[in-house]
């Protein structure tokens, strides 16, 4: 906490923000800026008062209306101009723009309403775990109180006792809708319901904000999260040209302008001097910023296979060693052991999710024994998927490596906002200044009769998002290797685990054959591709490309097709389904033989579609191609329904025999 508050300094800081934002509006009018901007004209006292109350190394997390918070927390004016103008010298190299700013470990903003709460919560949780002296301040507006994540996070903040200060700037209007039309009850009562400390001020000036924020800050630092509600007047539009309020109303609000009220307390002539200085500063910063060139897109180099010859061969000694290491170990045991290993090897690794603690150890027991062995590093969460996935982003930005379990993969959709709009984007939109090594484990798939909302394979919803990797290993892939790859990656990874594969154990014989099939594990830079063949890869009649839970079905079909019909199936099973590298898979295909791609979800817009599209673009598509997937209907709970709806060994065998003309 800062010891003193200088009125003149505060007024100058506020005038700087106001002049900066007015300049932005002018630049827009002149057509010099693209995109949008949300100014905080009239609310500068909140930013400046809070910034004065916290330390320079504290973290501020802000929203779409973030310029004031950024500048007040010692942000660089030139780099903010450059960012908003899409220039290389911007805070985020022009990638983030007005709403997505980042100073690693000090300032983050994001344009999704309420989405920053989980981020702030995660940062604060990391600070608590690290016994860090810092605190996290999250600024939200009254409009954001319509988002559920806000309450999930207030709840968790109270339970986890983290150093989190939430500042609600209540300007009485959300874009164009008056708050009274959308907000029932009282804001303060909502906060108090969580047992959190809550203070509120009506149209405060910067000094009042400073004083109350300082007081709250010292208790927040001791692990007592608090909320500060600041009634404020938004004097400008929501973004630009979208203010539908009557002029008279705005004129009334202008009387509450904290900047002018503060200037009135200063000696005569202060207003002129302050604004003069602000204009000079802003003009200088703008000129400086304009020297930067426009942000340029440099394509990321495509990864190449490490194997010079990545076509499959029988008796690759490394492959036999991998197969033997997995022999007789169930998929679930593999996962549990891998989790134990990564927890032991790196103290930054954390586990989060519902019901993870012993003796229960998670719905599928993947976390069994971990909370007993690593107390404090296995965190049981409330049923708040969006927020507990989102807070992993905050943990990661503070150097943690969180592994979060979604009890059923279907619930990923609840967390989709945080996965798609936050975790996956942080690294790109913050111009690669941050790493987000979050692993999201999701048991997926049907076959257990859990019914339509607990049986889906939703990975395709997430595959295709930039900045997010999707692994879907089979029970015969070395899980630990992939888990480590994910944890060492700067990007978040969705780890799709087929739940009916959990009890499966690879049957590896002394000669390194898996279920009588020759195997080859291809270690690629970003994946492990498993190929299997009953005829030592020499005489295969069909290609089957599949992943995850479809691999055991394909193996079973391959055995039967060989024993009964002497048809040799080559199975090609990647574990990384996004980004899918079909070029890598193409090396492993038997050229000129039919290709069947299998996925458990219905085929539309899925894995097989992506695979064939990529192959076709490379002019290496097979002449005969078939997709096998679920029927286009919900996954019925009944055993017989599942049997009919989901792909099965029989479906695969009959597809092969049909193509073969038998």
Summarize as ranges the residues that interact with another protein (CB under 8 A). Answer: 315, 317, 320, 330, 332, 363-365, 448, 499, 502-503, 509-513, 516-518, 534-536, 539, 559, 562-566
Instruction: Give 113 or 367: the residue with its C-beta nearer to another protein.
Output: 367
* 85 and 287 Cβ atoms separated by less than 8 Å: no
Which DSSP state fits 299?
P
Strand boundaries in 75-207, DSSP class E: 102-103, 107-109, 136-141, 164-170, 173-174, 177-178, 197-202
CB of 414 to another protein, least distance (A): 21
Q: What is the CA radius of gyration of the chain?
A: 28
CB of 313 to another protein, least distance (A): 14
Instruction: Give 22 or 559: the residue with its C-beta nearer to another protein.
Output: 559
Q: Residue with structure tokens 């169930």?
A: 330
CB of 572 to another protein, least distance (A): 18
CB of 535 to another protein, least distance (A): 7
Strand partners, 530: 521, 573
CB of 516 to another protein, least distance (A): 5
Distance of alpha carbon 321 from alpha carbon 509, whole angstroms: 12
Instruction: Give 215 or 516: the residue with its C-beta nearer to another protein.
Output: 516
CB of 388 to another protein, least distance (A): 22
Strand partners, 578: 470
Distance of alpha carbon 138 from alpha carbon 168, whole angstroms: 8
CB of 532 to another protein, least distance (A): 11
Instruction: Give 145 or 558: the residue with its C-beta nearer to another protein.
Output: 558
Distance of alpha carbon 107 from alpha carbon 380, whole angstroms: 28
CB of 366 to another protein, least distance (A): 10
Instruction: Give 78 or 368: the residue with its C-beta nearer to another protein.
Output: 368
Distance of alpha carbon 135 from alpha carbon 650, whole angstroms: 58
Distance of alpha carbon 185 from alpha carbon 165, whole angstroms: 22
Q: How many residues does the chain have?
A: 662
Q: Residue with structure tokens 């603690």?
A: 357
Return the structure tokens found at 607. 């894995």
CB of 514 to another protein, least distance (A): 10
Instruction: Give 354 or 610: the residue with its C-beta nearer to another protein.
Output: 354
Which DSSP state fits 63?
-
Distance of alpha carbon 295 from alpha carbon 82, whole angstroms: 10
Strand boundaries in 534-622, DSSP class E: 542-546, 569-573, 576-578, 595-598
Phi, psi of 545 (to 5 degrees): -105, 125
Distance from chain centroid for Cα 306: 29
Neighbours of 267 (CB within 10 A): 8
* 458 and 601 Cβ atoms separated by less than 8 Å: yes
CB of 515 to another protein, least distance (A): 10
CA distances to 9, 21, 67, 191, 366 from 286, rounded to whole Å, are 22, 12, 15, 41, 55
């Amino acid at each position: 906490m800062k010891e003193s508050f200088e009125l003149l300094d505060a007024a100058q800081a506020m005038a700087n923000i106001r002049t900066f934002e007015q300049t932005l509006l002018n630049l827009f009018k002149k057509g010099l800026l693209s995109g949008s901007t949300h100014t905080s004209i009239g609310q500068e006292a909140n930013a400046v008062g809070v910034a004065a109350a916290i330390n320079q190394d504290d973290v501020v997390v802000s929203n779409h209306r973030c310029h004031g918070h950024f500048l007040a927390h010692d942000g660089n004016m030139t780099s903010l101009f450059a960012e908003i103008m899409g220039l290389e010298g911007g805070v985020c190299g022009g990638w983030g723009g007005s709403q997505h700013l980042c100073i690693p470990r000090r300032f983050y903003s994001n344009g999704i309403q309420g989405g920053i709460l989980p981020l702030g919560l995660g940062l604060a949780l990391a600070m608590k775990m690290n016994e860090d002296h810092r605190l996290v301040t999250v600024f939200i507006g009254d409009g954001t109180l319509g988002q559920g994540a806000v309450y999930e996070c207030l709840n968790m903040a109270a339970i986890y006792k983290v150093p989190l200060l939430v500042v609600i700037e209540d300007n009485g209007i959300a874009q164009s809708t008056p708050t009274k039309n959308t907000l029932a009850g009282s804001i303060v009562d909502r906060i108090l319901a969580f047992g959190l400390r809550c203070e509120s001020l009506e149209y405060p000036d910067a000094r009042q904000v400073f004083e109350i924020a300082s007081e709250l800050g010292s208790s927040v630092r001791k692990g007592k999260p608090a909320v500060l509600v600041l009634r404020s007047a938004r004097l400008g539009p929501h973004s630009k040209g979208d203010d539908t309020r009557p002029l008279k109303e705005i004129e009334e609000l202008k009387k509450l302008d904290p900047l002018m009220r503060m200037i009135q307390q200063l000696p005569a002539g202060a207003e002129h001097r302050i604004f003069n200085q602000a204009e000079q500063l802003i003009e200088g910063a703008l000129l400086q910023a304009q020297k930067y060139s426009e942000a340029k897109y440099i394509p990321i180099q495509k990864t190449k296979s490490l194997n010079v010859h990545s076509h499959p061969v029988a008796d690759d000694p490394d492959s036999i060693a991998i197969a033997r290491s997995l022999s007789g170990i169930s998929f679930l045991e593999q996962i549990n052991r891998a989790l134990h290993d990564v927890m032991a090897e790196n103290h930054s690794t954390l586990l989060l999710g519902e019901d993870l603690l012993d003796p229960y150890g998670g719905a599928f027991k993947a976390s069994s024994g971990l909370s007993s062995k690593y107390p404090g590093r296995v965190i049981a969460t409330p049923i708040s998927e969006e927020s507990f996935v989102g807070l992993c982003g905050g943990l990661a930005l503070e150097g943690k490596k969180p592994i979060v379990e979604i009890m059923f993969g279907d619930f990923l959709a609840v967390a989709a906002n945080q996965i798609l709009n936050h975790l996956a984007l942080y690294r790109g939109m913050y111009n690669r200044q941050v790493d987000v090594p979050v692993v999201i484990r999701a048991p997926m798939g049907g076959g257990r009769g859990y019914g339509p909302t607990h049986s889906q394979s939703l990975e395709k919803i997430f595959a295709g998002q930039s900045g997010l990797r999707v692994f879907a290993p089979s029970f015969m892939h070395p899980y630990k290797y992939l888990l480590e790859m994910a944890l060492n990656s700067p990007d978040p990874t969705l780890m799709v685990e087929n739940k009916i594969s959990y009890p499966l154990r690879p049957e590896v014989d002394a000669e390194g054959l898996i279920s009588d099939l020759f195997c080859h594990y291809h270690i690629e830079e970003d994946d492990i591709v498993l190929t299997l063949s009953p005829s030592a890869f020499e005489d295969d009649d069909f290609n089957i490309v599949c992943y995850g839970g479809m691999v055991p079905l394909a193996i079973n079909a391959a055995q039967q097709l060989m024993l009964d019909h002497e048809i040799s199936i080559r199975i090609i099973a990647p574990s990384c389904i996004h980004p899918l590298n079909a070029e890598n898979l193409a090396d492993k295909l038997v050229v000129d033989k039919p290709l069947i791609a299998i996925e458990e979800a219905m085929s539309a817009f899925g894995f097989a579609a992506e695979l064939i599209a990529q192959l076709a673009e490379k002019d290496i598509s097979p002449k005969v191609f078939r997709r096998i997937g679920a029927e286009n209907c919900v996954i019925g709970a009944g055993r017989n329904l599942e049997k009919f709806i989901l792909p099965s060994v029989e479906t695969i065998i009959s597809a092969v025999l049909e193509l073969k003309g038998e």
